[in-house]
Amino acid sequence: MKTKFTQKAIFYFFVLISIPAFTQNKIGRELILIDKDWRFSFGHLHDTKKDFGHAEGYFSYLTKTGFGDGPAAKDFDDRAWRKLDLPHDWAVEQPFSESASFSHGFKAAGKNFPEKSIGWYRKKITIPNEDLGKIISLKFDGVFRNSKVFFNGFYLGTEQSGYNGFEYDVTAYVNYGGENTIVVRADASMEEGWFYEGAGIYRHVYLQKTNPVRVVSNGTYVTSELKNNDASVTADVTIENKGNYKGSIEISQTIFNKENKQITAFSESIAAPEFYKTITHSSKLYVQNPLLWDIDSPNLYRLVTQIKQHGKIIDSYETPFGIRTIEFNAENGFFLNGKPLKLKGTNNHQDHAGIGTALPNEIQYYRIKKLKEMGSNAYRCSHHPPTPELLKACDELGMLVIDETRLMGINDYHLNDLKRMIERDRNHPSIFCWSVGNEEWNIEGGIVGERITNVMQDFAKSIDPTRPVTVGISSGFKSGISSVVEIMGYNYLGNGDIDAHRNQFKQQSGMGTEEGSTFATRGIYFTDDAKHYQSAYDKKPRPTFYSIEEGWKFYAERPYLAGVFFWTGFDYRGEPTPYGWPSVTSYFGMMDVCGFPKDNVFYLKSWWGKEPVLHLLPHWNWTGMEGKEIDVWAYSNCDEVELFLNKKSLGKKKMEQNGHLEWKVKYTPGTLEAIGYKNGKKIITEIKKTTGKAENVKLSLDKENILKGNVSVISVEVTDKNGLHIPTANDEINFSVKGGKILGVGNGDPTSLESDQFIDDISFSVITNFMEQKSESASVPKEMTNYDESKWTEAFKERDYKKQAPSYIYKGEFELKNNASANVVSFFYKKIGVETVVFVNGKKVEPSSEDPQKYILNTAILKEGKNTIHIAATPLQKVKDWDVMNTDPGIIQVSTPAASWKRKLFNGYAQIIIQKDENAKEVILSASAKDLRAVSLSVK
Ligand code: GAL
């Protein structure tokens, strides 16, 4: 039987378009990536003083427009703040703490850490006079979370979700021909998920400039029919008019193939929409003999939508797209382009070793490639919409995707998020299914769940009728959501009787949206609860959960099930089940957080992939275990495998479909060798050798990945004198880099509390007890003098600006937690006078050459604890009575240099992610370790 969706899909074959390219600079439209050169500082969750006085004003930014105060104000002095580039995740920079969140991997950020839960970002941009008349907007791909954005002090809005993209029109507030200030306040005190979510602006930000008559963001949507191998494409485009133009416009839609050859075009004149109105225009185009988008050949086309006014192009909007058909069949599973395809999927969260959620685009490709290498063809975005670059990677590399919204419900909060996800993503050929929820335990088994699903499902269809809808369901597969959802999403065999459900709901297609949840630590073969290490032999993890092999066999044997998504492809931060502190990452992954494979990868690769596989576990370094029995397993898709220890055969065994082989082997050091046979012929060999002691550090570049961009993934290991990888090595490796920077380090150890990043610490010391004395001299003293201590009064308190003294002496104090000689201590002075001299602890200090209002303070004149600052200055005069005069002398910044980069290997491996400077020819990474030969690697 076919689902409602399938019946439709038989007649409609859909052509899909993906999101606009990464940075567009087309005629009529500019999309400028503005990730570089932001200023960042922590604020405070509830102490407004520590939040730089934000929202303390008599009129707040909600009372009077343009009244953003504290850092939200246009002219706030952020010189002392840290400089950084996006994407940025401040949670990953923090140390670990037992009092931090289990879900978020015990990083010391979030609500229990009010001083690490608010992040302020500021950036200055220049907008030229020529842009007058254009619509200027800011586009954010995602900020975690609850972000408020200000532009030149104007409040633009709040986006609660940490996963939605959002956009603000700033046209009315622009300072043309000059400087403009963008400010973001992110509040990561609350969690949206039960897994690591990062904190801050962890996705890209763009400045967009368009004509007032323009394609709205995510404003293209294309469906088509495929008949006799020709695609008839319907390209809808929504156009808005943010100006006063009245008259006709011409809309043209042109399709290009991947060689950039124009395939077909269509154009038509229509009346422009009225002021602030939109219209949706539909065109039909034909593509003869299209090259279909498939997982093995992800063919993409490009649609260029242009708007012309009086013959001139005023907007150009580009959309890569792919042509393919999808179909769910309740009897026979899933079909891509008319051919049956078992979904071999994984669930994944969005963080990676060393860098948290701030993934450069290159890492999206790295991760999707790793999953494809395992034979996987499908990816479930659990449990929220992903960053656009993940979908771009899936489109380009051929990975099917379930795109999932965050929270179930039928009000604006929920439906609006769902709508934005679908409108943003509905053109990606990789997406084959929308998921409107996951394991909503409160509602899944009852009538409320049924009602909500009915609304969300129909709502999704109203925006995109071309894809079916699923929900991941865990508590029983009988009533509630499971009785109405279009594609039943089974979360775990142990949660109910899947065959019984299917027999009751024969019309309903189904797939395993989650399966597995097994525990394994890479390179560990004996569970050690004291150390929080779980053996990597695939086993049933808990009474109601099943091994990866049991899970795959179940789904593989049932054609009616479209496929399965294992929990998870990669380990992630948080949810360190079955343990807790000090374990900080999950144990569920087929790969660890770096992407180093656990043995399960080879089980799946054997039965999911196409190439011959032969993998042995464990390693063969078991000093002290001589004569003891060790379980040796082989993962392979060969017909037979023969195992040898030191050339002596231990027997040839027949491989069962979707199975594995086991031997009990008494440990003797040497060579364990397996030979795989197909149709009686030797086709593959695998060797595990006992290694000698560690001698060399080895660095290897992930070559697959270096073609794209400046970011590289490098594996770190140690080898013996014969160059053999040592699988038990846990050496600490030190790193240094030239021509670029290190973004993060990791090693896949779920219990590692080592730093992910080594960055300079920036802290502030506020000047307190700020006092003044009048001076009768019109010039400021050149040397420190002794002042009558009884004469100090509170600075600026009684100031009569009409009768100011010729000059003033101010005195204040600041505390230093320590006075380490490596610290760089700077006083960022804010003008409180005209001619100014500054003394610290009685010594005159000079302004720096780069900034006359910055003083770099030599630590020789500073001390731990209380320090004194004197400022002698002739006063600033008011020009107008109502001028508000600065009374804040500025702030002391203490920059403590980071320790040098290092990471221990974990069972033989660590990973380091490096980024080449844009102008450098190469980046050179050096690695050294105690008693080992050091090594350098150059990436061009
Ligand atoms: C599921 C849940 C996942 C993850 C997993 C761990 O119930 O949907 O998000 O928590 O359990 O086993």
Share of the chain above pLDDT 70, in %: 97
Structure tokens at 52: 């730089």
Nearby residues of 740 by Cβ (< 8 Å), 6 or more positions away: 710, 914, 915, 916, 917, 920, 923
Distance between CA 733 and CA 153 in Å, rounded?
A: 47
| Band of pLDDT at residue 354, cut at 50, 70 and 90 | very high
Residues 225 and 313 occupy one common structural domain? yes
Is the pLDDT at 3 greater than 90, yes or no?
no
Residues 582 and 674 occupy one common structural domain? no
**CA 464, 465, 467, 468 torsion: positive or negative?**
positive
In angstroms, what CA-CA distances link 577 with 299, 525, 658?
40, 18, 27
DSSP state of 731: -
Which residues, in sequence order, are bridge partners of residue 870? 811, 839
Residue 247 has phi, psi (to 5 degrees) of 140, -165
Predicted pLDDT at 15 = 35
Distance between CA 316 and CA 209 in Å, rounded?
A: 12
How far is ligand 1, taken at its centre, from the CA of residue 567, in Å? 7
Distance between CA 80 and CA 829 in Å, rounded?
A: 10
Is the pLDDT at 237 greater than 70, yes or no?
yes
Residues 440 and 452 occupy one common structural domain? yes
Q: What pLDDT digit, counting tens, does each position of 662-675 carry?
A: 999 999 999 999 99
In terms of phi and psi (left: phi > 0; alpha: psi -120 to 50; beta: otherwise), the region of 610 is: alpha
Measuring CA to CA, which residue among 83, 87, 114, 120 is closest to residue 100?
114
| Band of pLDDT at residue 27, cut at 50, 70 and 90 | confident
Residues 408 and 372 occupy one common structural domain? yes
Residues 193 and 234 occupy one common structural domain? no
**Position 328 in a domain:** no
Determine the structural domain holding residue 478 and report its residue range: 335-608
**Which one of 514, 549, 642, 673 is the catalytic residue?**
514
673 is catalytic: no
Q: What pLDDT digit, counting tens, does each position of 130-151 carry?
A: 999 999 999 999 999 999 999 9
**Which one of 197, 318, 423, 439 is the catalytic residue?**
439
Distance between CA 770 and CA 786 in Å, rounded?
A: 17
How far is ligand 1, taken at its centre, from the CA of residue 937, in Å? 40
**Position 714 in a domain:** yes
Nearby residues of 470 by Cβ (< 8 Å), 6 or more positions away: 402, 433, 434, 435, 436, 485, 486, 487, 488, 489, 511, 513
How far is ligand 1, taken at its centre, from the CA of residue 345, in Å? 15
Q: What pLDDT digit, counting tens, does each position of 285-311 carry?
A: 999 999 999 999 999 999 999 999 999
**Position 330 in a domain:** no
**Position 698 in a domain:** no
Burial 163-178 (b: 16+ CB within 10 A, else e): bbbbbbebbebbeeee
In 723-836, where does DSSP find H-type helix?
none
Predicted pLDDT at 8 = 34
Question: What atom in ligand 1 is closest to the CA of residue 474?
Answer: 7
Question: What atom in ligand 1 is closest to the CA of residue 439?
Answer: 8
Residues 499 and 582 occupy one common structural domain? yes
- Looking at 187, 210, 233, which one is the last position of a domain? 210
- The count of C-alpha atoms lying within 13 angstroms of the C-alpha of 717, restricted to the half-sphere facing its C-beta, is 15
Distance between CA 939 and CA 779 in Å, rounded?
A: 58
- Looking at 154, 186, 210, which one is the last position of a domain? 210
What's the CATH number where 569 sits?
Answer: 3.20.20.80
Structure tokens at 85: 């580039």
Q: Tally helices (H) and strands (E) across the chain.
A: 9, 55
Predicted pLDDT at 17 = 33
What's the CATH number where 295 sits?
Answer: 2.60.40.10
Question: How big is the chain by its Cα radius of gyration, in Å?
Answer: 31
Distance between CA 708 and CA 508 in Å, rounded?
A: 42
Is the pLDDT at 854 greater than 90, yes or no?
yes
In angstroms, what CA-CA distances link 606 with 378, 549, 637?
17, 11, 5
How far is ligand 1, taken at its centre, from the CA of residue 285, in Å? 44
Q: 655: how many CB neighbours lie within 10 A of its CB?
A: 20
Residues 184 and 205 occupy one common structural domain? yes
Which residues, in sequence order, are bridge partners of residue 326? 336
Residue whose CA is at the smallest distance from ligand 1 atom 5: 517
Q: 880: how many CB neighbours lie within 10 A of its CB?
A: 5
Question: What atom in ligand 1 is closest to the CA of residue 472?
Answer: 8
Distance between CA 569 and CA 548 in Å, rounded?
A: 12
**Position 773 in a domain:** yes
**Position 617 in a domain:** no
Separation of CA 549 from chain center: 30
How far is ligand 1, taken at its centre, from the CA of residue 508, in Å? 24
Question: Is 43 within 8 Å of 723 (Cβ atoms)?
Answer: no
Q: 728: how many CB neighbours lie within 10 A of its CB?
A: 14
Q: What pLDDT digit, counting tens, does each position of 805-829 carry?
A: 999 999 999 999 999 999 999 999 9
225 is catalytic: no
Is the pLDDT at 622 greater than 70, yes or no?
yes
Q: What pLDDT digit, counting tens, does each position of 698-726 carry?
A: 999 987 766 568 999 999 999 999 999 99
Residues enclosing ligand 1, CB less than 6 A?
A: 382, 438-439, 474, 491, 514, 517, 567, 575
Is the pLDDT at 24 greater than 90, yes or no?
no
Secondary element (H or E) of residue 404? strand 400-404
Residues 163 and 238 occupy one common structural domain? no
Distance between CA 327 and CA 334 in Å, rounded?
A: 6
What's the CATH number where 874 sits?
Answer: 2.60.120.260
Q: Domain count of the chain?
A: 6
In 361-479, where does DSSP find H-type helix?
361-373, 388-397, 412-425, 447-463
Maximum pairwise Cα distance, the chain = 105
- Looking at 210, 242, 277, which one is the last position of a domain? 210
Which residues, in sequence order, are bridge partners of residue 222? 235
**Position 877 in a domain:** yes
Residue whose CA is at the smallest distance from ligand 1 atom 11: 517
Residues 603 and 722 occupy one common structural domain? no
Measuring CA to CA, which residue among 113, 138, 284, 301 is closest to residue 189?
113
Is the pLDDT at 20 greater than 50, yes or no?
no
Question: What atom in ligand 1 is closest to the CA of residue 382?
Answer: 9
Residues 656 and 770 occupy one common structural domain? no
Predicted pLDDT at 2 = 38
Separation of CA 785 from chain center: 56
Residues 876 and 841 occupy one common structural domain? yes
Structure tokens at 513: 């949206």
Distance between CA 905 and CA 379 in Å, rounded?
A: 29
In angstroms, what CA-CA distances link 229 with 301, 321, 339, 429?
16, 17, 15, 18
Predicted pLDDT at 707 = 57
In angstroms, what CA-CA distances link 335 with 307, 629, 658?
37, 47, 22
Q: What pLDDT digit, counting tens, does each position of 36-95 carry?
A: 999 999 999 999 999 999 999 899 999 999 999 999 999 999 999 999 999 999 999 999
Measuring CA to CA, which residue among 199, 138, 140, 197 is closest to residue 165?
140
Average pLDDT of span 761-771: 96
How far is ligand 1, taken at its centre, from the CA of residue 478, in Å? 20
Average pLDDT of span 879-898: 95
Residue whose CA is at the smallest distance from ligand 1 atom 8: 439
Measuring CA to CA, which residue among 382, 364, 326 is closest to residue 516?
382
Residue whose CA is at the smallest distance from ligand 1 atom 3: 567
Query: Residue 43 class from Cβ within 10 Å (0-12 exposed, 13-18 middle, 19+ buried)?
Result: buried
Does residue 459 sit in helix, strand or coil?
helix
Distance between CA 750 and CA 729 in Å, rounded?
A: 16
Average pLDDT, the chain: 95
**Position 500 in a domain:** yes
Q: What pLDDT digit, counting tens, does each position of 170-180 carry?
A: 999 999 999 99
How far is ligand 1, taken at its centre, from the CA of residue 427, in Å? 29
Residues 630 and 525 occupy one common structural domain? no
Residue whose CA is at the smallest distance from ligand 1 atom 2: 439
Structure tokens at 871: 């400022």
How far is ligand 1, taken at its centre, from the CA of residue 422, in Å? 24
Structure tokens at 710: 């400046």
Does residue 624 sit in helix, strand or coil?
coil
Beta 487-491 vs 469-473: how paired, if at all? Answer: parallel
Distance between CA 7 and CA 877 in Å, rounded?
A: 79
